[in-house]
Amino acid sequence: MKQAAAGWPAWLLLMLLMLASVLSFVDRQVVAIVVEPMKADLAISDTQIGWLYGVFAVFYAVAAWPIAFLADRFSRKHIIALGIFFWSVMTIACGLSRQYWHVLAARVGVGIGEASLSPATVSMVSDVFPRQQVPLALSVFQTAAVMGSGLAFLIGGLVLELVQGAEPAVLPWVGQLQPWQLTFVYVGLPGLLLCFVFLFIREPLRRQAAPDSGSLQVLRDFYRRNRTALVLHHLGFLAFALAGYAFVFWTVSYFVRVHGVDAAVAAQTFGCIFLLTGPVGPVLAALLARRLGTRGHKDANILAAMLMGLLGVPCVILIQFMPSALWAYLLYVPAMIFVNAPFGLANGSLPVIAPASIHAQVAAIYLFVVSIGNLLGPPIAGFFNEVVFPAEDGVRFSIIAVVTLFGVLGGILLQFARKPYALAFQNMETLLSRSAS
């Protein structure tokens, strides 16, 4: 039975959630822009810099499930508002830190705060959009993550350029702040305003009554029935995420070390490319999945994500051998389209096979697994920079090694996920048809 299309309130809510996602990714990614000045000021290594992203990912992943448990029961708008406030304060705290361990601790707080957004969003979107539109809606939501990453490089680069030539700032009760510290402070401030907006929106009605403790049994049963599809899904997208985060995190350093580009200029240029081309990927993948779905492919969400993700591997490899920064920038256009493409469907492929009462918790479990890519991607590449390819331009070979290994592995895992996922998709269609009749 064909469902009605979502109305403007659903899309308006999605836009607001996207704005929150943009800010979260700006605050998350800004550490990659200030790698070089932070290293010099704090006297730390590439591996330690990589762990600033890694420790964020650990606590982002660990906090997601208990927050999702709450999101399946209580007000999601209040959970998101509190999360935005907390991660913004912690981002500012990164800028007020004086030692590496202080920054590391503040990054833990950023991870915990940002863990509130994705599970609550999946739950809300699944309630306000018809089932057949959920993968597209969550793919559109994913473009905000991409835009946020692009804006992090663009805005972070602009802020760094404005402050890096100036004398360190002296703030009341805080003292002297270096340019890289001011960058954290400035990008953390907007979230302190946005968190209050969520207090005034209307909480969407749940399609299913808020669950009791029995939803834990529903969650266990769901994973037991679909364990092959879900394990391969989670691990396949984990591998893609690890490759993508390693590539993106070390991009500015690649341009600085290999092509001699100023860090602020590299961040701004890369940010523009990321912002303009990255969001195209998730939407193209969702449209491809819809096209495949109309042709009878029950595995359309997995197949489209797999194909788009694999196309990113050769693009990333070719970038590393470009003779100039200009040619590298040009190849970043297709690379950013394909590297970002799989992750809208990664999230959107789950609510369409899961019971409504556990949407947020399933999203959190996926988030936990895929966050291992956030955790390991940057430090693995940083380790390669120091130990395997220690030359000044070794970062290019580290990127090739990590992206090739994990990009191909992700494609293989998703290929094996296609058949069991198609069965899970068909089973949910049958269940919904029986419920509607």
Residue 253 sits at the vertex; the CA angle it makes with 252 and 257, to the nearest 5 degrees, is 125
Q: What is the CATH number of the domain that holds 158?
A: 1.20.1250.20
Would you mind telling me the total number of residues written for the chain in this entry? 437
Work out the pLDDT band at 410, boundaries 50, 70, 90.
very high
Q: Could you give the C-alpha distances from 154 to 263, 282, 306, 398, 408, in angstroms and in order?
A: 11, 20, 29, 24, 30
Residue 3 lies in a domain: no
- Specify which of 71-75, 85-89, 154-158, 346-350 reaches the highest per-range mean pLDDT: 85-89
Q: Does 1 reside within a domain?
A: no
Distance between CA atoms of residues 187 and 267, nearest Å: 15
pTM above threshold 0.95: no
User: Does residue 211 register a pLDDT over 60?
Assistant: no
In a domain, 70, yes or no: yes
Asked whether residue 253 is assigned to any structural domain, the reply reads yes
Residue 290 forms part of a structural domain: yes
Please tell me the predicted confidence (pLDDT) of residue 213.
46
Q: Between vectors from CA 312 to CA 234 and to CA 339, what angle results, nearest 5°?
A: 55
- Residue ranges making up the domain that contains 351: 8-436
pLDDT of residue 64: 82
The structural domain count of the chain equals 1
* Within a domain: 384: yes
Q: Measure the CA–CA gap between 145 and 90, rounded to whole angstroms.
A: 19
Nearby residues of 422 by Cβ (< 8 Å), 6 or more positions away? 297, 298, 299
**What is the pLDDT at residue 215?**
66
Query: Quick check: is 56 in a domain?
Result: yes
Following DSSP, what letter does each residue of 11-45 receive, concatenated?
Answer: HHHHHHHHHHHHHHHHHHHGGGTTHHHHHHHHT--
Residue at 424 is within a domain: yes
pLDDT at position 1: 41
The percentage of residues in the chain with a pLDDT greater than 70, rounded to a whole number, is: 92
